[in-house]
Amino acid sequence: MPPFDAAIRYPSKLTMPANAPASAALTLPTYSEWLLPCAAVSLANLPAVSVPVGVSASGGLPIGVQLVGRPGGEAALLAAAAILERAVAKRGGTSFGAVVDPTQARAAPTRPPAAWEWDGPRTAAEAAALHGVAAA
């Protein structure tokens, strides 16, 4: 799934491609629900690493994979991340598009319509309404 638009405070809804099963629909009405997967990893004191694997085919937005290890398993996690990095580099990218080369200058990506699209509140008032509270 592509990253969400920077104008969104946090993603609360993910529009699926037309061919996705109805059970794949995702709605996250509160910020806490959006943050829970990341917070759960941190609260469980698990080591984690994010590995860039390519860019989206539409718009050149970065795509990464988060790997989570067992407690005290930093060495094994870093080894797994290195294996993934080598595999992505050897393949020259993934089906998402070409691997981003940080040494090459790139134009700012545009956001064409995507098959997967995040949406969410863009203002404090919209976020407050989703949470059922009055905006400050």
Closest CA to 53 of 83, 80, 85: 85
pLDDT at 60 over 90: no
pLDDT digits (tens, 9 = 90+) for 8-42: 888 888 777 677 776 666 788 788 888 888 788 98
117 Cβ neighbours under 8 A, 6+ residues apart:
2, 14, 15
- Checking phi first, is residue 86 left (phi over 0); if not, alpha (psi -120 to 50) or beta? alpha
Residue 112 scores a pLDDT above 70: no
Q: Kindly indicate the confidence band of residue 2, based on its pLDDT and cuts at 50, 70 and 90.
A: low
